[in-house]
């Protein structure tokens, strides 16, 4: 049996994928359709690549088939490979872009959540800052300074009750005198009567002070 070198020449072609050959015989003429497919390429544009059509006698095709298809098959293979790589790179870019976008959104949300934006939020932050200082002073045993640090009700009307409770709690820890001054002791002096008559008038015979 004669050995053909057809498959050896097919193997020598530079392509990646599946090379489909379709042959049709019309009398002495042959029509060969050559279509290269690459399943790794997900781009539907590959479906628009037309097959390569060759017509001729068996002898003509035997002599000119491989020289005619070698270059087109190689170019088509390279095109499909590039399309597949492009799609893969595009998909990676989308993933990375989505990840980066998500990270950026998280950072933006964190920044926005940390920074007050409305007058109410700014006022609330100011109040918390003042009361934090009050707590520090109280923890240090500086109750009087902490009491003074508590804001006035006019500054934070909605916190009036809370601030009153805080002042009451702090004032309970003060010394009796808010300003630290000691009350003077009351001196008791015995005043002697100036004359004997005065003494007699002030005390009766039984030694009981006369109420007159």
Q: Give tens-digit pLDDT for 99-121.
A: 767 776 776 665 555 566 788 88
Q: How many domains does the chain have?
A: 2
Range of the domain at 63: 6-91
Judge whether 110 lies within some domain: no
Provide the percentage of residues in the chain whose pLDDT is more than 90.
20
* 53 lies in the same domain as 14: yes
**Is the pLDDT at 123 greater than 70, yes or no?**
yes
Judge whether 53 lies within some domain: yes
pLDDT given at position 212? 44
* 83 lies in the same domain as 40: yes
3-state SS class at 19: strand
75-84: average pLDDT: 88
What integer best gives the mean pLDDT of the chain? 77
* 11 lies in the same domain as 87: yes
Judge whether 107 lies within some domain: no
Which single residue is written with the structure tokens 């390569």? 52
Q: What is the strand order of the sheet 29-37 is part of?
A: 18-26, 29-37, 52-57
With beta carbons less than 8 A apart as the criterion, state whether 167 and 147 touch. yes
* 62 lies in the same domain as 22: yes
């Amino acid at each position: 049996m004669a050995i053909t070198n057809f498959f050896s020449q097919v193997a020598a072609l530079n392509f990646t994928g599946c090379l489909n050959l379709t042959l049709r015989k019309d009398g002495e003429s042959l029509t060969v359709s050559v279509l290269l497919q690459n399943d790794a390429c997900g781009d539907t544009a590959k479906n628009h690549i037309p097959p390569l059509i060759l017509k001729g006698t068996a002898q003509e095709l035997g002599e000119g088939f491989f020289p005619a298809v070698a270059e087109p098959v190689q170019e088509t293979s390279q095109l499909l490979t590039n399309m597949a790589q492009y799609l893969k790179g595009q998909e990676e870019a989308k993933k990375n872009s989505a990840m980066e976008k998500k990270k950026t959104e998280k950072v933006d949300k964190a920044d926005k959540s940390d920074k007050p934006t409305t007058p109410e939020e700014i006022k609330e932050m100011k109040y918390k800052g003042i009361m934090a200082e009050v707590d520090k002073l109280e923890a240090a045993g500086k109750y009087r300074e902490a009491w003074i640090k508590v804001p006035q009700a006019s500054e934070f009307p909605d916190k009036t009750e809370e601030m009153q409770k805080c002042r009451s709690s702090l004032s309970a820890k003060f010394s009796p005198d808010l300003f630290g001054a000691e009350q003077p002791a009351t001196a008791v002096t015995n005043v002697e009567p100036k004359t004997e008559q005065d003494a007699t008038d002030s005390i009766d015979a039984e030694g009981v002070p006369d109420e007159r």
